[in-house]
Amino acid sequence: MADLTADPAGVSDIRSAYIEMTRRKRVYGGLLLILFVALMAAGFRTADDRNAGNFRDGIAHVFDYPAEVLSEAAEKAAQLPGHIVHFFPALVETLNIAAASTLIGALLGTVLSLLSTRGLARWPMLIPVFRRLMDISRAVPEIVIALVLIFVLGGGPVPAMIAIAIHTSGALGKLFSEVNENASLKPVEGLQSVGANWTQRMYLGVIPQVGPNYVSYALLRFEINIRASAILGFVGAGGIGYELRNSMSWGQGRYDEAAAIFILLFLTIVIVDQLSGRLRDRLTHGART
């Protein structure tokens, strides 16, 4: 580069070096690609072997079950509105589980994130402890806590709520602490200078700065938690998932109920997705201007 008056030999050196590098890159890329394809193929074969039914036979029947359900639902179309009304309370329960666990998880996550952000932490020594705590509660799948709690507390919405709240606190705590890192410390210092204690500093100095971002993340979590609470219902924690399992295990003859639940769940997820998407858009744009 420095030698601009390079003789032709230097240029060809550079060119051959460049071509060499490109070739090497291409070889590495190709090797990675081959490795990836091999992994996918081997993985697919293993999964196919260990599955009860294999892929080739199954693929033809993918739409059998939905078709069965839909045809029965179409036959009894007149009863669908009745079913939808009947299952609406279960849907409300599922939504309540999701909302309550998001709220509790967000509150816990706020505290955890404030305690584990450098510059804001109450006990700076304990930052790693709270970080690990969030890591662990984030790593636990909800179903693990829910199943154990169902054994202790009996079936119902409370085990699901606690399980989702614990996972949410870890997941939101991590996102919140990233937001906290960008918060200005000036209001905190100002409050400290007038003798505010830690809670007041956080509530009055930090939360107003990070609030919109918090709410936006919490809304995203709410969407995820609706799905999670439907799934947990399926393993015995109440709500619409539980009703779905009941009407499914009944099998043919109650497919119209299953269809009604499918419709309810689908509509709820789509509507909440849309609403929260719009709200989040407004929140983040409001924060920007």
Q: CB-wise, 65 or 123, nearer to other proteins?
A: 65
Contact, 129 vs 191, CB < 8 A?
Answer: no
Question: What is 21-71 written as a DSSP string?
Answer: HHHHHHHHHHHHHHHHHHHHHHHHHHHHHHSSS-HHHHHTTTTHHHHHHHH
- Asked if 30 interacts with other proteins (CB under 8 A), we say no
- Mask: binding to other proteins, 204-243, rule CB under 8 A, as x and -? -----------------------x--xx--xx-----x--
Q: One-letter amino acid identity for 71?
A: S
Contacts of 164 (CB under 8 A, 6+ apart): 97, 98, 101, 102, 105, 142, 146, 225, 228, 229, 232
Q: CB-wise, 85 or 153, nearer to other proteins?
A: 153
Tokens of 275: 């609403």
The DSSP H or E segment spanning 181 is helix 157-181
Q: CB-wise, 117 or 268, nearer to other proteins?
A: 268
Binding residue for other proteins, selected from 10, 29, 30, 66, defined by CB under 8 A: 66
Q: Taking CB under 8 A as the criterion, which residues in 249-268 touch other proteins? A: 262, 265-266
Binding residue for other proteins, selected from 139, 185, 275, 279, defined by CB under 8 A: 139
- Mask: binding to other proteins, 149-188, rule CB under 8 A, as x and -? --xxxx-xxx--x---------------------------
CA distance 131 to 29: 37
Q: How far is the CB of 10 from other proteins (least distance, A)?
A: 25
Closest CA to 68 of 262, 270, 234: 262
Residues binding other proteins: what is the number (CB under 8 A)? 59
CA distance 227 to 240: 11
Stretch that binds other proteins, among 17-25, 60-68, 179-187, 194-202 (CB under 8 A): 60-68
Task: Say how many C-beta atoms besides its own lie within 10 A of residue 187's C-beta.
Answer: 15
Contact, 97 vs 157, CB < 8 A?
Answer: yes
- Opening angle at CA 153, ends 151 and 158, nearest 5: 115
- Asked if 128 interacts with other proteins (CB under 8 A), we say no
Site residues, other proteins (CB under 8 A): 36, 39-40, 43-44, 46-48, 50-55, 58-59, 61-62, 64-66, 93, 96, 99-100, 103-104, 135-136, 139-144, 147-148, 151-154, 156-158, 161, 227, 230-231, 234-235, 241, 244, 248, 262, 265-266, 269-270, 273
